[in-house]
Amino acid sequence: MSDIAIRLDGLGKQYRIGGQQEGYRTIREAMTNAFVSPFRRARGLLRGQPYGVAELDETIWALRQVSFQIKRGEVVGIIGRNGAGKTTLLKILSRITEPTEGQAEIYGRVGSLLEVGTGFHPELTGRENIYLNGAILGMRKSEIDYKFDEIVTFAEIEKFLDTPVKHYSSGMYVRLAFSVAAHLEPEILLVDEVLAVGDWGFQKKCLGKMQDVVHEGRTVLFVSHNMSAIRSLCKRAILLEQGTRTFDGETLTAIAAYRSSMESDRTSRDSLQFKPVDSKAQIMAIRLLTKPQEHESFDYTKPISFEITSEMRSEISSIYLGITIYNEYEDRLIFWRDFELMPELLEPRIPGLYVYEVTIPGHTLPPGYYRIDVALVELAGLTLLHWPQEFLTFEVSDYDSVRILRGLPWKSLSATPLGLNIQIIPKGCRQSIS
């Protein structure tokens, strides 16, 4: 038997931008399209576009000419920025979508966890969905029976086992989905970045379970922005950029290449303003309070302070501001919630603007790259009310200075507070809440 589990040869996937999936067309629609198409091309030529551009610019290649092989028992990380084609690759391997060009050969039973609740039927209970997913994976009922109690215990949903999954929270969804995918013993396991939905304790359980899967010799493809998890689980990593494979090799080298590609896009700035969103609460701005001395650098020995402005648009109970600081390997170094130091903030907050002043003490962080993620979360159901797409990031350098840069996407939170000196001051008030 061949030792190859997955083989990709010139794989490509093209999508239509802004278009709808083309279904069955009537004769009338086909005739109309044939009549109108020449005029569309003529309009493009009058605008100075080369022949055929009008058709080409309506599509985008999510993947293009991707080729590699993965051996049985190998654990490979897939990394890259948002939109690089990582999820598209896993969807093709899971047979959710078909490639536009090339081919993908898979040798073995595949279990995939690509999105929250993938393969679940919302009207069925958790119990019924376990058996449904097992059947989809090709498991016999006796095999599912043997693993059933272990699946339920790991997912921590005993109370809700006979409740339709449409009533589950996103965290319950992902706990059950991961538990089914990991325990029903597929030969090839495909995991996308869905574990961020669970809390930190469950994420650690999932990573521990994936370590067990690795030791059992099964093949794993792991997509994540968490470089710490990639580093601990994978000896090999593949870097995707704009749909193409740009690196395939040792994990630390791949992470360095990924970091280098991200560095080229960072722009120095000391404040961010965010567009209005349709939500009960919003983060309005982040502003650096520490002023640069020269060359946009800051003294590492002195505190680094920044200010967060948020708006409550109605009276809200049990809402908190979460602040997380990550290093370049996506290790969560600091996590703080405003009510942990000031429990009175769990009382209903009146509408208005609130200002959060945050100080990172000097000599706190070793040299390296860091980013600050901020979110407003409603405790009821842990509902994310607002997470902007940009955040301040900074570099602590060997010559004792920091440089403020642009930020990276939101990730899940951990609970490791580290001595932040924080004041919360409602705008228009002179004294802090106490």
N-term to C-term CA, the chain: 69
DSSP letter, residue 57 = T
CA nearest to 290, candidates 273, 271, 272: 271
**Domain identity same for 136 and 251:** yes
Helix H or strand E encompassing 254:
helix 251-263
Asked whether residue 416 is assigned to any structural domain, the reply reads yes
Tell me the per-residue pLDDT of 182-236, one tens digit each, with 9 for 90 and over: 787 788 988 886 555 556 667 777 778 878 887 888 899 998 877 777 888 899 9
Asked whether residue 13 is assigned to any structural domain, the reply reads no
Residues in CB range of 124: below 8 A, 6 or more apart = 132, 164, 165
User: d(Cα 258, Cα 247) in Å, to the nearest integer?
Assistant: 9
For 185-210, give one letter per residue: b (16+ CB within 10 A) or e.
bbbbbbbbbbbebbeeebbebbbebb
Q: Are 72 and 5 in contact (CB under 8 A)?
A: yes
Domain extent for 74: 64-263
Q: Are 99 and 92 in contact (CB under 8 A)?
A: yes
**Domain identity same for 121 and 185:** yes
Q: Which of 263, 280, 298 is the last residue of a domain?
A: 263
**Domain identity same for 377 and 319:** yes
Q: Which of 201, 234, 263 is the last residue of a domain?
A: 263
DSSP assignments along 318-385, one per residue: SEEEEEEEEETT--EEEEEEHHHH-GGGGSPBPSEEEEEEEEEPTT-S-SEEEEEEEEEEETGGGEEE
Average predicted confidence (pLDDT) for the chain: 75
Give me the residue label for tokens 């992470």: 255
- Sign of the Cα torsion 197, 198, 200, 202 reads negative
| 59 vs 332 pLDDT, higher one | 59
User: d(Cα 122, Cα 114) in Å, to the nearest integer?
Assistant: 17
Tell me the per-residue pLDDT of 9-54, one tens digit each, with 9 for 90 and over: 999 999 886 544 445 455 555 556 665 566 555 555 555 555 454 4
**Total domains, the chain:** 3
Q: Is the pTM of this model over 0.75?
A: no
User: d(Cα 101, Cα 99) in Å, to the nearest integer?
Assistant: 5
